[in-house]
Amino acid sequence: MRGSKSGRLKYRAAILLFFFESWTSLDSNTSLLARSMARMMNSIVDAAQLQAGPEAAAVPALLFQLHDDNPQMARVPVAQQLLFPSSPRMVCDEMGLHWQAAVRLQEEGWLSFSLETNSQLDEAQEAELRFVSALVLAGCDRNMLGLLLGGLPRPYSYDLKRLYFDWGTRHWRLLPDPQLHPEAAFTDWLDLLVRTRDVGSLVGIVELAQDAVSRVRGRS
């Protein structure tokens, strides 16, 4: 869309109004939010793979620049007590990890606390046990654990739902959170729709945005 800068900003504000209302309605269902973001990420990656040139290849990278890409932000607060704390054995049983395998993790230094002397785990300890155990249950041996965890600061009390391992760079990264920078995420999506010439979706967005603006004006 061409025109004055103020006109473009007004148009963007109208579109973003619909965008904010849509994401706000998903606050109570984080799994749906994650799936929606994953679908958008997949569509961006698919479009980039279908197009040639550096601009197409750079599209996925833009998405990962929308948040502070620091794995430390996924660390669970230290020594925060749970209302109903679990024991190490309860966590291992729930995850399907053999107790001796968990003890071996402690003996090899992958865990920062003693499984035997901690009858109840605080939130950080439980997150640490779940994080490392999940990697073992996925088939990681000692060498693979060294590869995956070598660059990640200890203790490994990270929320596994907020991290992913980037095999290209061999670094852990935060999963994108569209709520941190929603305007940038939405702008990337609009750019994708323009490149793929998805007129129907763009027209639909405009109509939804116009309806949202009308509802807001009707409340004032």
pLDDT at 113 over 60: yes
Query: Residue 83's pLDDT is what?
Result: 67
**162 and 101 share a domain?**
yes
Which one is predicted more confidently, 116 or 47? Answer: 116
- For the question of whether the overall pTM of this predicted structure is more than 0.85, the answer is no
Mean pLDDT of 188-206: 92
Which one is predicted more confidently, 176 or 198? Answer: 198
Highest mean pLDDT among 36-40, 202-206, 215-219: 202-206
Which one is predicted more confidently, 197 or 38? Answer: 197
**139 and 184 share a domain?**
no
pLDDT at 42 over 50: no
**121 and 193 share a domain?**
no
**82 and 48 share a domain?**
no
Mean pLDDT of 111-123: 91
**37 and 101 share a domain?**
no
**184 and 153 share a domain?**
no
**78 and 154 share a domain?**
yes
Could you give the dihedral angle defined by the CA atoms of residues 146, 149, 155 and 158, in that order, rounded to the nearest 10 degrees?
-150
HSE-up (13 A, CA, CB side) for residue 149: 24
**81 and 144 share a domain?**
yes
**Structural domain of residue 104, as residue ranges?**
73-174
**156 and 185 share a domain?**
no
**56 and 95 share a domain?**
no
In whole angstroms, what is the distance from residue 196 CA to residue 215 CA?
30
Q: pLDDT band for position 89 (50/70/90)?
A: very high
**139 and 186 share a domain?**
no
Q: How many domains in the chain?
A: 2
**150 and 91 share a domain?**
yes
Q: pLDDT band for position 156 (50/70/90)?
A: very high
